[in-house]
Structure 1
Amino acid sequence: METAENTDTKEVLSVLPWDQFSEWMHCVCVVTFDLELGQALEFIYPNHIELSESERSNICYLAFPDSNSGCMGDTQYCFRIRKGRSTRRKLTESDYLCSKDCPVTLLKDDTHYYGYVYFRQVRDKTLKRGYFQKSVVLLSSLPYFNFFKDIADIIAPEYFDNGEPCLEAACHDIDQWPSPVPGKPLTLPLMGMILHVRIPTKQDKPGRKLIEASDNVASLAPFTLSSINRIDLFESLQGVLPHIHLLWELVLLGEPLVVMAPSPTVCASTVLALVSSISPLRCYCDYRPFFTIHDSEFKEYTTKTQAPPRVILGVTNPFFAKTFQHWPHIVRIGDMGLGNSGGSNPSLLSNDSKLKKTSKLKALDSKTGVYTKYKPFLKKDKLFLKTFAKGLAGKRPGTAQSTLLERHFLELTQSFIIPLERYLASLMPLQKCISPLRAPPSLKPFRPEEFFQMVENNGPQLTSGTKGDWVGLYKRFIQSPNFEQWFLRRRSEIEAKIMSLHLVALSETDLESWCYEKSEVEIVDMVLRLRQKISMVTSHRLEVPAATLERLNNQITSITDSLPPDLRGILIKA
């Protein structure tokens, strides 16, 4: 008989060294400046981790700000790179459990890494260049921007002061962390500190505190993270506030967009703010919070022989001002030749806030603004902008302004999603159409014209104060990767639900009575199909009640026992 102690031992043995670490991070990289090689990877930890040549090169160049940025002292920002095929791995059982209840915007990225950079540049007369320049980069598949910024803020200074053993100790601490399961208060030891965090769930209300008093940890936590990925929208977008509705449309439609800023911190935070503006929709188009001329995708993204790709790029090098003049949408944040943001707060409704045509963009033009010929489908929400402007005039705290912006974007996106979800629900077959002895019914096809007609009478205008050509916006949206991937995901979820309902109906059917009138060939076929369906529950991660599976297995046993011995033997071996 297996005791509880034996079970616990098996569970402990099943967790190999670095298994838990890999739930959160891929590795930690240290990049230094070598007089002969330039930016070079000094070491990787854990040391068994392998990176492709392309990954190593990208990390090295992205780990340092461009030389024109003038970033003295400590600088933090993040980047995003493609994973090499050799480093992509299949999702594990733990990955599935972690993502099961996670908002789609926080899902682990299986094709890209996020690099969370802590760069230090200080004068040092003992070095030939006269400067100490080094970066600590946390590489992860998780888009937890706030979380890893804070983790880097703990780990990197310790490393700079005390060397490599600090990084090793930090990584071993992370290897003891529980899996990043949504909805559960997590206690994370790190370098003598105890961190407390809670990953959001799909069911969380917007604005909910991640650690509630009821979680019985907030009062005990010396370091509690209020959010793992929240971007300060007001700080990041304050230079282009008059154009937030237009920018929301561009991100929603997956339009090519370049953000030109004076530092990697500013351009990265602006890109992430734009991407998060369409939450709870996920941005399925590529985006690079910080991009350099050394990036392996540089030629792919700067070619003039074809239309610009659907990507949002954050750049700081003035070289890009000329390279990207042909791009349709450009956001300028301050003077790219200076180390400050140069941002401004123009009146949200004044003539100064007018768009600038891309044709007027000059290579050395450094004025903050949005350069585009795009004509928005929706009008500005003047009521919201007036409310927001009052907050600016009244010196409302930046955090409150950011919350106001976040709520506005959320309401706008939800108003946009609701008609899509409502139409999708109408495509689902009625439960009475699900017959246990027939194949599960399919989802009806998405018919754009039918959907547009529904929007005209029952669209976002019923829930949103924003006016304009909603139908025209939907027509462009359904041609974008954001719609394509959203629809594929939702269709997959609905088909899984239909399959689950079909299995429930099948388990409640008297299959033994059905067998009386059937030939042995038909009965064997039924047993094999039942086995296949049960197997699909595991392989397709279908959410089916345990009682349903138990009933189906009992049905298989009863049917098999009713067959002649020779046939029964064949089925048992099959």
Structure 2
Amino acid sequence: MSRAEKETTSNGDSGFGDQTEARRLDELKGIVPESTFSVEKLREWLIAFIVCDFNVDLGPEIEWIYPYSQFSPADLTTICFNSFPDRNNPDDLTTDTSFHFRFRHTSKDIKVPSSELVSHPEFWFGYCLFRQQRDETVKRKYGQKSFVVISQHDFTSLFRDQMLAKTLPLLDFSASSALMESACAQIVNWPTPRPGQMELPFFGSIFNLHIPLHASYPLQGLVRKESVKQNHPIDIFALDPVGSWKQVVECLPNAVDLYIIYERILLCEPIVALALDPRFCSEFVSLAFDLIRPVPFAGDYRPYITMHSDIFSQSHGGPNTNHYLVGITNPFILKRLQSQPSKKPLIHSPKDMPYIVNLTEPAPKNGHRHRKSRSPHKEEAGFDIVSQEPKGYVSRDWGFLKELDEACKGDSSPADISRLVRRHFAYLTARFLAPLDRYFAQLITAKSAVDPFEYKGFSEVDFLQMLSKHGSGVEFKGKTHFQRNKMEEAFYKKFCKSPSFFNWLQMKIELASRSQMAR
């Protein structure tokens, strides 16, 4: 039985899993050494290091927590199951897999200092490095463990790509409390996280961390300083998206789908990314909502979920019910997203069907897969994985698509291709926002220059009249001028009613307030 199947069949026993984790937490309380540093200071950056072991008979279980932290049993179950891939290759014992996930925590006994950098303190992040090695003493002849950093900060480039990379080579296959204590002792000497640049020493390296004033600043990390000096500080852009657009484009049926992804993210409509491993789907989520910056993504985003994700244990009655961006590797989750027993389903009508980004195989070199082709997972899942046919609004830039195609076929690096995609959509977003910026600029009076909350005086009717008069820098679909104008109006109407618009407006108010306070 595969791990995905084991999760599916055991999903109804989550209460049993919670009881198991509660017992393990009590056991750890007596054996984990007391910390010799300020836990409160450590929690300015992270909450704990956790080592998870995969028991072939019982499933994932907690092996170690440092420093000891009173996680709720539900959170420990979520962390355990989200810290392992649904699928893995037992013959590959040399390659570590790193990925990250996000969950709504219920650990009320863990006190985390408030920070202006944390906009949603109800969510925590797990940064994982999964490793397996030959072990003749267990049934499957190989053991599996995940080393996890739990933090309130969405700093994937720091925690996943640098901290875990520096720590794991020092670990053997067993938990090392001495190593974790050494890591924590260095972190507590770091300055309090704040916008700007900070030098952070860690195991012989220096991380030069860049934190922007706001999470939605566009093109973060695009310009990097390369140094030939050995032991030079490593530049890390805390909110820089991870992953490569080259890998994504090679899996899409057509590069034109980038515009569908962009529109749905901008309008906060549901998207599910299906990949073969958690690293790829979690990186896609990171790349996707970077496309619309400086518009903040307003939905619930989960870089990687399993059947035991906390997303299924919530009522989802809030404003983000059908506004989500989710990464999965288990196709059964698609079925569960549509029908949850005794709970309101995430999907209420055909228009709420998620757009499925199938990243499970590269597109054929001599042609493109049809969007509605049968899913390679049909035999496994028992149903077709078919995404709804989306309605596009924005006209495609064929010059950009040609340049992207040539770059993917040529010898351009993944970093070069990612820069090309990010710049194109950053400029597209800037042109899209220009009419809204123009509208709000004419609202500013002597009073609103002092009180930025005057931005709230938005009238959709007045804005659309101004849009009709001045137009937009974005090219919309349509054969005639009239059709293009109607498409433009429909798209802006949809955006102004979406959570994305209100999040973007709140960001403008927040930044204006900061500017006034700094004077």
2:507 counterpart SS class = helix
Are 1:321 and 1:362, in contact at CA under 8 Å, matched by a contact in 2? no
| CA 361–294 in structure 1, closer or farther in 2 if over 3 Å, else same | closer
Q: Is 1:309 the equivalent of 2:322?
A: yes
Are 1:236 and 1:269, in contact at CA under 8 Å, matched by a contact in 2? no
Aligned to 2:100: 78
Aligned to 1:156: 168
Percent identity (aligned): 27
1:160 counterpart SS class = coil
| Cα displacement string for residues 25-72 of structure 1 (whole angstroms, at most 9, x for unaligned residues) | 12111111235532111221112x221222111001001111467694
Are 2:303 and 2:327, in contact at CA under 8 Å, matched by a contact in 1? yes
In the aligned structure 2, how far is the partner of 1:358 from the partner of 1:429? 57
Of 493, 504, 508, 1:490 maps to 508
Using the TM superposition, give the Cα deviation of residue 360 of structure 1 relative to its aligned residue in structure 2, in angstroms. 13
Are 2:47 and 2:152, in contact at CA under 8 Å, matched by a contact in 1? yes
Aligned to 1:176: 189
In the aligned structure 1, how far is the partner of 2:199 from the partner of 2:179? 20
Q: Which amino acid aligns with 1:75?
A: T
Q: Is 1:331 the equivalent of 2:345?
A: no
Are 1:427 and 1:444, in contact at CA under 8 Å, matched by a contact in 2? no
Q: Which amino acid aligns with 2:98?
A: Q
Query: Which is higher, the Rg of structure 1 or of structure 2?
Result: 1
Question: Runs of 5+ in structure 2 lacking a partner?
Answer: 1-36, 339-346, 348-352, 478-483
| CA 205–308 in structure 1, closer or farther in 2 if over 3 Å, else same | closer
Q: Which amino acid aligns with 2:235?
A: L
Of 246, 253, 266, 1:252 maps to 266
In the aligned structure 1, how far is the partner of 2:370 from the partner of 2:83? 36
| CA 206–374 in structure 1, closer or farther in 2 if over 3 Å, else same | closer
| CA 129–330 in structure 1, closer or farther in 2 if over 3 Å, else same | same
Using the TM superposition, give the Cα deviation of residue 492 of structure 1 relative to its aligned residue in structure 2, in angstroms. 4.8
| CA 69–112 in structure 1, closer or farther in 2 if over 3 Å, else same | farther
Are 2:84 and 2:130, in contact at CA under 8 Å, matched by a contact in 1? yes
Q: Is 1:131 the equivalent of 2:142?
A: yes
Q: Aligned-pair RMSD on alpha carbons?
A: 3.8
Using the TM superposition, give the Cα deviation of residue 279 of structure 1 relative to its aligned residue in structure 2, in angstroms. 1.7
In the aligned structure 1, how far is the partner of 2:365 from the partner of 2:468? 35
Q: Which amino acid aligns with 2:62?
A: L
Q: Which amino acid aligns with 1:446?
A: F
Q: Is 1:272 the equivalent of 2:283?
A: no
Q: Which amino acid aligns with 2:196?
A: G
Are 2:98 and 2:130, in contact at CA under 8 Å, matched by a contact in 1? yes
Are 1:69 and 1:262, in contact at CA under 8 Å, matched by a contact in 2? no
TM-score (norm 2): 0.76
Q: Which amino acid aligns with 2:292?
A: I
Are 1:195 and 1:222, in contact at CA under 8 Å, matched by a contact in 2? no
Using the TM superposition, give the Cα deviation of residue 458 of structure 1 relative to its aligned residue in structure 2, in angstroms. 2.8
1:225 counterpart SS class = strand
| CA 173–68 in structure 1, closer or farther in 2 if over 3 Å, else same | closer
Greater relative contact order (Cα 8 A, min sep 6): structure 1 or 2?
2
In the aligned structure 2, how far is the partner of 1:249 from the partner of 1:475? 13
TM-score (norm 1): 0.69
Alignment of 1:396-545 (within 5 A): 396-431=412-447, 442-443=454-455, 445-461=457-473, 464=474, 469-494=487-512, 542-543=517-518, 545=519
In the aligned structure 1, how far is the partner of 2:193 from the partner of 2:449? 39
Aligned to 1:26: 47
Q: Which amino acid aligns with 1:53?
A: P
Q: Is 1:371 the equivalent of 2:371?
A: no
Aligned to 1:198: 210
2:387 counterpart SS class = strand
Alignment of 1:16-95 (within 5 A): 17-47=38-68, 49-67=69-87, 72-73=92-93, 74-84=96-106, 86=108, 92=114, 95=115
Aligned to 2:481: none
2:121 counterpart SS class = coil
Are 2:217 and 2:294, in contact at CA under 8 Å, matched by a contact in 1? no
Question: Runs of 5+ in structure 1 lacking a partner?
Answer: 1-15, 100-106, 335-341, 501-541, 546-574
| CA 378–445 in structure 1, closer or farther in 2 if over 3 Å, else same | same
In the aligned structure 1, how far is the partner of 2:508 from the partner of 2:468? 23
Using the TM superposition, give the Cα deviation of residue 490 of structure 1 relative to its aligned residue in structure 2, in angstroms. 2.6
| CA 159–310 in structure 1, closer or farther in 2 if over 3 Å, else same | same
Are 1:381 and 1:466, in contact at CA under 8 Å, matched by a contact in 2? no
Q: Which amino acid aligns with 1:416?
A: F
